[in-house]
Amino acid sequence: MEPDADEDVTMEDRLFKKAGWIARVIKNEDDDGWAVEMTRVGDSEPVLVAPWTMGRDKKNPKPLDASAFATWVKAATETLMRHEQAERARLHKSLEIFGADGARIRVDFDIARDEDDPLAVLAAFDEMGELLRSERVSPMFKLSAASARRFVQTGET
């Protein structure tokens, strides 16, 4: 990817900044070695901190280069994707049950991120995706086959 003319690009031995990412070689606080921290431009916390190789003098870190930076960008991007997938899985659960007539019914449990007024919605859909029933529930609600059946049959949570 070619940098834009307006993009702030830095390529130094211990600092690379390009394509929305900053790689910084830092002293590893846990031992005598070095680490690389990858931070998205604009973020206050690094996405990834990992050990970095010592240089030939066994005292200073090996300099960053374009190839290493690209590898770290890929690793940090994959880390972000895994975190986002885990967050989606935590906030959305879905299961299928069979109704009294044998038709498949999908029951979704979705938690809305809101620290002031936490809420969740429990919703049931028929095979065509049409909403059968929807109810606001506690974010602590436990979705199971039994609770989904009860909700579909009686509306009780």
Interval 47-102: pLDDT, tens: 999 999 888 888 889 999 999 999 999 999 999 999 999 999 989 999 999 988 89
**Tens of pLDDT along 103-129?**
999 999 999 987 788 899 999 999 999
How many residues make up the chain in this entry?
157
Helices (H), 1-65: none
Is residue 2 pLDDT above 80, yes or no?
no
pTM of the model: 0.67
pLDDT given for residue 5 in this prediction: 46
For the chain, the distance separating the N- and C-terminal CA atoms, rounded to the nearest angstrom, is 51
**Tens of pLDDT along 10-62?**
899 999 999 999 999 999 877 778 999 999 999 999 999 999 988 888 888 99
